[in-house]
Amino acid sequence: MKTSNIIAGKEVKGSGKTFQSQNPSTLSANEGEFEIATIDNVNQAVNAAATAFKSYKITTGKKKAELLRTIASEIEAIGDPLIERAVKESGLPRGRFMGERGRTCGQLRMFAYLVEEGSWVEARIDAALPDRKPMPRVDIRNMLQPLGPVVIFGASNFPLAFSTAGGDTASALAAGCPVIVKAHPSHPGTNALVSEAVAKALEKCELPAGIFSTLYDNGYSIGTALVQHPNIAAVGFTGSEAGGKALMDIAAKREFPIPVYAEMGSTNPVFILPEKLESELDTLPKVIADSVNMGVGQFCTNPGLLIVIEGKNLSAFTKNLEQAFEELISFTMLNKGIHKNYINKREKALKSEGVTTINAKNQSSETLQAPPTIAKVSYAQFKKNPNLHEEVFGPFTMMVVCKDKSEMQSLAENQKGQLTSTILGTDNDLKDNVELIHIISDKVGRIVFNGVPTGVEVGHAMHHGGPFPASSNGRYTSVGTGAIKRFARPVAWQNCPETLLPPALKMDNPLGIWRLVNGETVKS
């Protein structure tokens, strides 16, 4: 069966060429063929989105909330076939997708609540002061408005939560931006099911079908053409540093550059302080090993570096880590490319000068299983070899042994931007390392105390995005309610008649939202 590109709710004629996805667990092709889009399809989808934007941008928060909730219900209504397809296209277990579906629908409903409540537009009113001297002040009001049609790239590692109707799409739709999803070639079937749910929801809500389209391609040309299209206003991406940087460069070279929100790689260093190491010698190693192997190490927040200080307990700790890794099970990775990269990068790291393997299982060449791996290296060696600073995407972690606190600080200071860093320390440890904490907070989007970096809570206070290269733009989060800000910009309305103002800016506050009125935060 051939699945076509969906533009504004309709199947359209594509290139005629198709591709199939592969089941990473069996290495056989999944059923269904997916038609590769054409440049014409790109133009059709963007034009439909641009037309839909004209009405969608002024659609009420209540109506947008209805859409987001309906999408969630439609995704749930797919039922088991969605879970099954996602399993077949990712090699990840069923339980993972029960959770990921919950998260995906939870995100959609969270954004529904956010736009229904309405204060997210950050309305500001500076009322006229006609008698001000030497010059009167004119009435100025300001609120966030949607950017325009956006392109979202499906992410291999989250076929539901960061793909077709994942966090990027949910936040863009919430902001009032039509979305064109470039499906990830590893899970086109999952994309097709979710896309159908979105199209159905638009129809049920009687909103323009052009608010959502999805295009297939197993190469780069469709994605590139989408990012280059003059009517595209922003791009959302979760994936590798190379992929994200390529999109950033394409966007920067446009006649009118646009923002690319790329959430890319990160080594997510875990700083283990001495007293903590001693006091949890037996328990910490297992916690760390489980975090490294979670999601087959395919989380952006995977702890890829463990920073420790030489000391009397280190060899016992290392031994316990070895044991904890020995007990881990190898799981199947998302696709051939990711598996090949893992095996190659792991090997390169293990063979680097000064690197000692603590525990590494062999991998079978017949499967895409990823052997969990832990190695160690001295800070002196680590410092000399920039390759060791790169992420090894998969269940891999490198213990970096510092001679003392000052080496640990120096590592923190010289690290690249990170999505997260974690500090494991007792109260005494933390008191002794306040400077380290400050250094780390400059390099990361999220600083975790006595926990693991994996597991990204979806809420108001989450920040998922760090200084480059962790993400293209560390001022924005791709997880949590803050993600909506990526797809909006402030517009000031000066001396606008009350009747013409957007509801959020009308003097009597018909939406009942929080606003900054003459510098005061008020809801009245």
Would you give the DSSP letter of residue 394?
A: S
Beta carbons of 211 and 49 less than 8 angstroms apart: yes
Is residue 259 a contact residue for its own copies (CB under 8 A)?
Answer: yes
3-state secondary structure of 377: strand
Number of residues that this document lists for the chain: 524
Kindly state the tokens that stand for 90.
């990712």
Amino acid at 349: A
Of the candidates 346, 347, 393, 339, the residue with the CA atom closest to the CA atom of residue 369: 339
Q: How far is the CB of 463 from its own copies (least distance, A)?
A: 4
Give 320 or 433: the residue with its C-beta nearer to its own copies.
433
Is residue 372 a contact residue for its own copies (CB under 8 A)?
Answer: no
3-state secondary structure of 369: strand
Q: How far is the CB of 60 from its own copies (least distance, A)?
A: 15
Is residue 249 a contact residue for its own copies (CB under 8 A)?
Answer: yes
- Does residue 263 have an active-site annotation? yes
Map the footprint of its own copies across residues 99-138, applying CB under 8 A.
Answer: 119, 124-126, 135, 137-138
Give 220 or 449: the residue with its C-beta nearer to its own copies.
449
Beta carbons of 395 and 292 less than 8 angstroms apart: yes
Q: How far is the CB of 496 from its own copies (least distance, A)?
A: 5
Is residue 482 a contact residue for its own copies (CB under 8 A)?
Answer: yes
Is residue 27 a contact residue for its own copies (CB under 8 A)?
Answer: no
Q: Taking contact as CB under 8 A, which single stretch among the options 79-87, 264-272, 374-382, 442-450 is the one that binds its own copies?
A: 442-450
Is residue 448 a contact residue for its own copies (CB under 8 A)?
Answer: yes
Beta carbons of 247 and 451 less than 8 angstroms apart: no
- Burial of 518 per CB tally in 10 Å (0-12, 13-18, 19+): exposed
Q: What is the CA radius of gyration of the chain?
A: 25
Would you give the DSSP letter of residue 294?
A: G
Q: How far is the CB of 514 from its own copies (least distance, A)?
A: 5
Count of positions on this chain that bind its own copies (CB under 8 A): 73
Q: How far is the CB of 256 from its own copies (least distance, A)?
A: 5
- Residue among 211, 402, 447, 511 that touches its own copies (CB under 8 A): 447
Beta carbons of 281 and 316 less than 8 angstroms apart: yes
- Residue among 43, 145, 218, 352 that touches its own copies (CB under 8 A): 145
What is each CA distance from 299 to 232, 365, 442, in whole angstroms? 29, 23, 22
- Residue among 18, 437, 503, 506 that touches its own copies (CB under 8 A): 437
Is residue 13 a contact residue for its own copies (CB under 8 A)?
Answer: no
- Residue among 477, 483, 509, 511 that touches its own copies (CB under 8 A): 477
Beta carbons of 334 and 298 less than 8 angstroms apart: yes
Choose the catalytic residue: 66, 100, 263, 280: 263
Give the separation between CA 385 and CA 349, rounded to whole angstroms: 10
Q: How far is the CB of 457 from its own copies (least distance, A)?
A: 6
Is the bond into 134 cis (omega within 30 degrees of 0)?
yes
Beta carbons of 179 and 232 less than 8 angstroms apart: no
Give 191 or 293: the residue with its C-beta nearer to its own copies.
293
Beta carbons of 217 and 185 less than 8 angstroms apart: yes
Is residue 494 a contact residue for its own copies (CB under 8 A)?
Answer: yes
Is residue 220 a contact residue for its own copies (CB under 8 A)?
Answer: no
- Residue among 461, 498, 507, 512 that touches its own copies (CB under 8 A): 461
Is residue 336 a contact residue for its own copies (CB under 8 A)?
Answer: no
Longest CA span, the chain: 81
Is residue 54 a contact residue for its own copies (CB under 8 A)?
Answer: yes
Q: Taking contact as CB under 8 A, which single stretch among the options 32-40, 207-215, 327-335, 444-452 is the one that binds its own copies?
A: 444-452
* Torsion region of 405: left, alpha or beta (phi above 0 gives left; psi -120 to 50 gives alpha): alpha
Amino acid at 187: H
- Residue among 500, 508, 510, 524 that touches its own copies (CB under 8 A): 500
Is residue 424 a contact residue for its own copies (CB under 8 A)?
Answer: no
Choose the catalytic residue: 100, 105, 116, 300: 300
Beta carbons of 197 and 78 less than 8 angstroms apart: yes
Give 17 or 57: the residue with its C-beta nearer to its own copies.
57
Is residue 383 a contact residue for its own copies (CB under 8 A)?
Answer: no
Q: How far is the CB of 300 from its own copies (least distance, A)?
A: 14
Distance of CA 59 to the CA centre of its chain: 26
Is residue 516 a contact residue for its own copies (CB under 8 A)?
Answer: yes
Q: Which residues are catalytic?
A: 263, 300
